[in-house]
Amino acid sequence: MSAGANGQTMQQRKLGKSGLEVSAIGFGCMGLTSSYGKPGERREMIAVLRRAVDRGVTFFDTAEAYGPFVNEELVGEGLAPVRDQVVIATKFGFTFDSGPLSPGLNSRPEHIRAVAEASLQRLRTDRIDLFYQHRVDPNVPIEDVAGAVGELIREGKVRYFGMSEAAVATIRRAHAVQPVAALQNEYSLWERVHEREVLPALEDLGIGFVAYSPLGRGFLTGAMAAGTRFDSKDFRIGLPRFAPEAIAANQALIAVLRELADAQGATPAQIALAWLLAQKPWIVPIPGTTKLARLEENLGAAALALTPADVSAINAALARVPVEGARYPESLQRLTGR
């Protein structure tokens, strides 16, 4: 159990066999500064981070690409007073030479080192706990990437190596050079493609799984209606699954989720997170929010223990409701599964 500053506790989980231990529910920081419309006031976002710590959250996920750069700066400021109590994950793998709206891939070893040094400064720390390759760079052998992170680990600047949206064969190659502590992929009640090949491979290798967008980028909370429209700066406006017709069609999924939640005395978001926690003991979801009330709701899922019968009932109910819309447009989808 991890105890927050006010004594509240949360179950801990180990990410595979790496030895890295984190709170059962982490915190995805991206939305604090970008991607989901106009960000909140800086002091309010820092208050959300610190409340998460008070509630026992020890795992915080950021990236240089979020902003870019400003998210790491916010996380660094927000967590500086409690740095030794938390695990901070960040990412490398992009270059912004063409501007923040059209980043290119770059996982060359010298670039990885430069990103690490810059991230350490922005995060106000002397080590990165978990350093993910954000997306696989087909122009750089994954063995070179793993080797570069391994050097940073030996120097004490990084503690653990992670990957994101990588193919199983690529993960195996990297893991043979430098053990991979965790894979971060999108995984939720409406995005389950990784169950077929990825999760069995991770179990075989002893690698943990960090589930981003565990609430379907907000959809699985039930807060979106058929007429929901997004701010022009909202990342979701370009995702097929959030097109108006898809949002309308996917209300059928929310109707089923509400029924399931009511039966458990919970909310749709809590059912979605508890379902993920029930899949494997080495899976850690990282929901994000800018609202204190949503933070409390999300963390309440850690106390909701679903039985195998509950999980089977959820799976059966949702299997009858097809999900409308792809998760990414082709331009983003082709960056995954390499």
The answer to whether residue 21 is domain-embedded is: yes
The answer to whether residue 128 is domain-embedded is: yes
3-state secondary structure the chain: CEECCCCCEECEEECECCCCEEECCCEECHHHCCCECCCCCHHHHHHHHHHHHHCCCCEEECCCCCCCCHHHHHHHHHHHHHHHHCEEEEEECEECCCCCCCCEECCCHHHHHHHHHHHHHHCCCCCEEEEEECCCCCCCCHHHHHHHHHHHHHCCCEEEEEEECCCHHHHHHHHHHCCEEEEEEECECCECHHHCCHHHHHHHHCEEEEEECCCHHHHHHCCCCCCCCCCCCEHHHHCHHHCHHHHHHCHHHHHHHHHHHHHHCCCHHHHHHHHHHHHCCCEEECCCCCCHHHHHHHHHHHHCCCCHHHHHHHHHHHHCCCCCCCCCCHHHHCCCCC
pLDDT of the residue at 97:
82
Residue 211, CA distances (Å) to 164, 175, 206, 244 in order: 10, 19, 16, 26
Number of folded domains that form the chain: 1
Reported as a single tens digit per residue, the pLDDT across 95-111 is 998 766 678 999 999 99
The answer to whether residue 251 is domain-embedded is: no
Is the pLDDT at 240 greater than 70? The verdict is: yes
The answer to whether residue 122 is domain-embedded is: yes
Q: Considering only 45-59, 130-144, 217-231, which range has the smallest mean pLDDT? A: 217-231
The answer to whether residue 151 is domain-embedded is: yes
Choice between 226 and 261, residue whose per-residue pLDDT is larger: 261
The answer to whether residue 131 is domain-embedded is: yes
CATH number at residue 93: 3.20.20.100
The answer to whether residue 196 is domain-embedded is: yes
The answer to whether residue 324 is domain-embedded is: no
Is the pLDDT at 291 greater than 80? The verdict is: yes
pLDDT of the residue at 338:
97
Is 132 annotated as catalytic? no
Domain coverage including residue 121? 2-221+279-304
Is the pLDDT at 134 greater than 80? The verdict is: yes
pLDDT of the residue at 5:
52
pLDDT of the residue at 9:
79
Instruction: Tell me the pTM.
Output: 0.96
Which residue among 66, 160, 187, 212 is the active-site one? 66
